[in-house]
Amino acid sequence: MHRPFAQPRPLGPAALRSLCLVVVLVALAAPASAGAQQRDTTRRDTTARRTPRDSVAADSARRVADSIAVVRELERLQNEPRAAPPQQPVGQGGPTNPRLLPDISAVGDLVGDLSSDGSTQDGGERFTVREVELAVQAAVDPFFRGDVFLGLSDLEKVSIEQAYLTATSLPWGLEVRLGRFLMPVGKQNTTHRHDLHTVDYPYALQRFLGAEGLKGTGIYAARIFAPFGFYQELILTAVDRFGEAPEGLTTVEPINKNLSGLGYSARLRNYWDLNEASNVELSFSGITGRREQPVAGGDSSLATAARQSVIGADFTYRWRPLQQGLYKSFILQAEFMRQLNERDPALQLPVGIPSAGFTYAGPDRDFSAAYVFARYQLTRRGYLGARFDTFQDEAASGRTSTAGSGYLEFFPSEFSKLLAAYERYSPALGSATNRILLQATFALGPHKPHPF
Amino acid sequence: MGTQRIFSMAALALALANGAALAAPPDAGAQLKVVTSTTDLYQIAKAVGGDKITATHIGEGYQDPHFIEAKPSFVLQLRNADVWAFVGLDLEIGWMPLLLQGARNPRLQPGQPGYVDVSKIVPVLDVARGNVDRSQGDVHPLGNPHYWLDPENGRRIAQLFRDTFSQLDPKNASVYSANEKAFTQRLDAAERTWQADLAKIKGQPVVAWHTSWRYFAEYTGMNIVGFMEPKPGVPPSPSHLAGLIETMKRTGAKVIVMEPFYDRKTAEFVASKTGAKVLVLPPSVGGAKGLDDYIQLMTYDIHQLATAL
């Protein structure tokens, strides 16, 4: 039953010697061949001395003979059995990407808001293309990989969501990125919004890190450890600033004039396999930096720099039996965050303006927020999820707001998702509201890894 | 300016360290650390490597290899590995990139001897022709990746491991060569015992759940007349099942071959309408109790199918 299979082998020394010999012989033969061509030319000169009539007759006879030979050759070829069809390709044959094009993909995020009290989307639309994300990803060279994610939306037009260079060959298990990236603070912040199992980020992240998640531009360094026999990873970042600059607030000096004004974060991940079907992750994060906070008593845009930090812990339990993993799974996730605010920062005022009459109008207390999320797989393509959010609302003097929401997710394939959500939001001040949201996402382009 | 200086120095240090670490060779004298994506590759690697290697695998034989979770514990396995051997043809596309990026192991980067795409040495079936898009299901444009179910490819895999291990660990090349030869001889001997079963299977119509049995069919001669999936990776719809039932009645297909990780109820429904038998065949080593060896797996699958027909 053996089927012969010729596998290319590297040339051995003997083969190399033979190859060199052939090359030398070819090189020596080349001038001889050139000389032969010159001799032919001489011969033509000799024949040119014959009479024109002899020459025409001879040429005509030669042409007829040549034509007959060509026809016979064609007939012979036609009568030959057709060449066998090409063998099954062995492996991937040649390069699959000979032009070295990067992977290009797009993700569309469509949202419908059927809430009874009007749309709760930023632009007030009932149906909106919330964002289209374009990704361009490839190895840059043997040392680096490049990833660029552009966000397109009606509100922000075009924005650089992420653009980073990753060193792929560092020693000591280090990973270093340079550029803009999702900040490794908390669990869900490192997931693209369209990859969430809910329509929006949890309120804790929205309030403390930003509605679209927290990004940073700077340096990211991570290292894996396993001194206690389980997976641990420490991730440190230093970024241009903590969060985006708020609209309508300006400080006298740039917030990051000094290195203490940059944003710094740390995250420690701890992961355990409980058994082959279930595992747990318990991680801790923190970020600190200076942010613009309002100053009362003068121009409403006047701001001063105040330190703000967010610390937190997150827990994720996953269950997916290996044999039935296509049909059954469960996730339980929770995060707790606490925002720490500098209460009495030094006011930065324009030169020559006395400080009398100006007072700090930023947050004067700390705030906490948390959520719990669970998702159970009903069928191969259907999932049922629920989330409970609670947070101390700065706009309500720290009183607690809550939200409870349920989700029905349906995946026609790995590349599309349909989601229906109901949320009851109970603010600290005012009456509760109901939100009904629909979402459809789709992915075009190369198959991406499944987020874990 | 201070920030710029810091960024510049960081970039310089990064570039220097990056170049220094590229493709450091495995430790001389130590066992080769081999990680494979599937149990089949693992078992053949063990047969060839013997006690000169330590080997682990990511997926289990009773698990759908398309949908393995990229757990951080797998990253730890890959972090110090000398060899990462995988099936290729995009079988592991849903999880392998996360693991390799997470492992940050220069020896396992594409182009390094430790990055072993096994599909490079086998004849591939079902390579996509013409325009390919996802309306055709979860297609593998580079070809069908389930090639280990043809024992001839088992031999080729063993030869590839022999060559790879010998390149990375030349002092034990003779051991790898002898082990590969022994593996091939065992497979040859087993193959001679399969002939009666193969004669029963040849030309018999069957239905398969997924395209994972294409190579097995090529080898055994079983005639796949339909698939439970309307398109690769797409669960069966009622209209597709109705058509499939008609096809089975027309062709006389008596067996539905399926993997242990698919929903048996759907196959049982089709079987009840056609009088066919549902045959759960493990597609990989470890897919059923006691099948801890590649040759055992092939023997078991061929015999089970012949018995069911």
Q: Could you write out the three-class secondary structure of chain A?
A: CCCCCCCCCCCCHHHHHHHHHHHHHHHHHHHHHHHHHHHHHHHHHHHCCCCHHHHHHHHHHHHHHHHHHHHHHHHHHHHCCCCCCCCCCECCCCCCCCCCCCEEEEEEEEEEECCCCCCCCCCCCCEEEEEEEEEEEEECCCCEEEEEEEEEECCCEEEEEEEEEEECCCCCCEEEEEEEEECCCCCHHHCCHHHCCCCCCCHHHHHHCCCCCCEEEEEEEEEEECCCCCEEEEEEEEECCCCCCCCCCEECCCCCCCHHHCEEEEEEEEEEECCCCEEEEEEEEEEEEEEEEEEECCCCCEEEEEEEEEEEEEEEEEECCCCCCCCCCEEEEEEEEEEEECCCCCCCCCCCCCCCCCEECCCCCCEEEEEEEEEEECCCCEEEEEEEEEEEEHHHCCEEEEEEEEEEEEEEECCEEEEEEEEEEECCCCCCEEEEEEEEEEEECCCCCCCC
More confident site: A9 or B140: B140
Residue B184 has pLDDT above 50, yes or no: yes
B223 alpha carbon, distance to own chain's centre: 22
Mutate one of B9, B60, B74, B76 to test the A interface: name it (highest A CB count within 10 A): B76
Is A419 a residue whose pLDDT tops 70? yes
Chain A: residue nearest B155 by CA? A2
| B302: number of Cβ within 10 Å | 25
Please state, in angstroms and rounded to a whole number, the distance separating the CA atoms of residues A263 and A289.
Answer: 4
Please name the residue of chain A whose CA is at the shortest distance from the CA of residue B288: A323
CATH 3.40.1110.10 fits A103-444, yes or no: no
Query: pLDDT tens across B127-136, in order?
Result: 888 888 888 8
Residues 325-364 of A with CB under 8 A from B: 325-327
Tens digit of pLDDT for each residue in B63-90? 999 999 999 999 999 999 999 999 999 9
Is pLDDT at A67 greater than 70 in this prediction? no
| Token pair listed for B296 | 């055992």
* Cβ–Cβ gap A89/B22 under 8 Å: no
CB contact under 8 Å between B261 and A450, yes or no, is: no
Query: Mean pLDDT throughout B22-45?
Result: 84
Higher pLDDT, A77 or A376: A376
Contact A223, A174 (CB under 8 A): yes
The pLDDT value given to residue A385: 98
Mean pLDDT for the stretch of residues A418-444: 96
- List the 20-79 stretch of A: residues with Cβ below 8 A of B: none
Mean pLDDT of A123-132: 94
Average pLDDT on A111-123 reads 92
- Which residues from chain A sit within 8 angstroms of residue B127, using beta carbons? 88-89
pLDDT in the model for residue B18? 54
Task: Give the distance from residue B250's alpha carbon to the nearest chain A alpha carbon, in angstroms.
Answer: 30
Q: Which of A255-259, B188-192, B268-272 has the lowest mean pLDDT?
A: A255-259
Among chain A residues, CA nearest to B62: A323
- A170-174 LR contacts (CB < 8 Å, sep 24+): A170/B14, A170/B17, A170/B18, A170/B21, A170/B104, A170/B106, A171/B17, A171/B20, A171/B21, A171/B24, A172/A223, A173/A223, A173/A224, A173/B79, A173/B103, A173/B104, A173/B105, A174/A221, A174/A222, A174/A223, A174/B17, A174/B104
- Span A172-200, pLDDT tens digits: 889 999 999 999 999 999 999 999 999 99
Instruction: Indicate the pLDDT class of residue A6, thresholds 50, 70 and 90.
Output: very low
Task: Read off φ and ψ for residue A425, nearest 5 degrees.
Answer: -105, 125
Q: Which residue of A has its CA nearest to B11?
A: A178
B-chain CB neighbours of A175 within 8 Å are 101, 104
pLDDT-derived band at B29, boundaries 50, 70, 90: low
Q: Which pLDDT score is estimated for A72?
A: 59
Q: Which residues of A touch B60 (CB under 8 A)?
A: 276, 322
In chain B, what residues touch A230 (CB-CB under 8 Å)? 73
- Predicted pLDDT at A87: 44
Q: A53 versus A301: which is more confidently predicted?
A: A301
The pLDDT assigned to A11 comes to 43
Arithmetic mean of pLDDT, B43-64: 96
Q: Which CATH superfamily is domain B194-308 in?
A: Nitrogenase molybdenum iron protein domain (3.40.50.1980)
Region B287-303: what's the mean pLDDT? 95
- What six digits make up the tokens of B280? 């759960």
Tell me if A178 and B20 make a contact (CB, 8 A cut-off): no
Position A18 scores a pLDDT of 47
The stretch A250-259 carries a mean pLDDT of 90
Q: How far apart are the first and last CA of chain A?
A: 44
Measure B106 CA to nearest chain A CA, in Å: 5
- Among chain B residues, the shortest Cα distance to A90 is held by B123
Q: Is the dihedral of CA B296, B297, B302, B308 positive or negative?
A: positive
List the single residue in B20, B125, B138 with the smallest CB-CB distance to A171: B20
The pTM of this model reads 0.82
Average pLDDT over residues B185-197: 96
Q: Give me the interface pTM, i.e. the ipTM.
A: 0.86
Judged by average pLDDT, the poorest of A23-32, A116-125, A395-404 is A23-32
The mean predicted confidence, pLDDT, of chain A is 83
Query: For residue B149, what pLDDT is reported?
Result: 97
pLDDT at B27: 64
Name the more confident of A90 and A40.
A90
> Which pLDDT band, with edges at 50, 70 and 90, does A58 fall under?
low
Identify from B9, B16, B18, B95 which residue to disrupt to test chain A contact, counting A C-beta atoms within 10 A and taking the largest count: B18
**Residue A100: its pLDDT value, please?**
84
Q: What is the pLDDT of residue A7?
A: 40
Give the model's confidence band at B233: pLDDT under 50 very low, under 70 low, under 90 confident, else very high: confident
**Which candidate, A69, A166, A34, A117, places its Cα nearest to that of A425?**
A117
C-alpha to C-alpha distance for A417 and A381, rounded to whole angstroms: 9
Domain ranges of chain B: 28-123+136-192, 194-308
> What is the band of A56 on the pLDDT scale with cuts at 50, 70, 90?
very low
The answer to which of A75-89, A110-124, B32-46, B182-196 has the lowest mean pLDDT is A75-89
Q: What does the pLDDT look like over A264-291, one tens digit per residue?
A: 999 999 999 999 999 999 999 999 999 9
Min Cα–Cα distance to chain A from B251, Å: 28
Domains B28-123+136-192 and B194-308 share a fold: yes
Q: How far is B58 from chain A (nearest CA, A)?
A: 11
Q: How far is CA A245 from the centre of its chain?
A: 24
Q: Hey, what are B81's tokens?
A: 């590995």
pLDDT(A84) > 70: no
B39 pLDDT higher than 90: yes
Residue B217, pLDDT > 80, answer yes
The count of other CB atoms within 10 Å of the CB of residue A185 is 28
How would CATH label the architecture of B28-123+136-192?
Answer: 3-Layer(aba) Sandwich (3.40)
In chain B the first and final C-alpha atoms are separated, in Å, by 78
User: What pLDDT sits at residue A51?
Assistant: 45
Would an 8 Å CB–CB cutoff place A413 in contact with chain B?
yes
Residue of B nearest to A165 (CA): B11
Per CB-CB distance under 8 Å, the chain B contacts of A324 are 261
- Reading phi first (left if > 0) and then psi (alpha if -120 to 50, else beta), residue A253 is in beta
The SS3 assignment for B85 reads strand
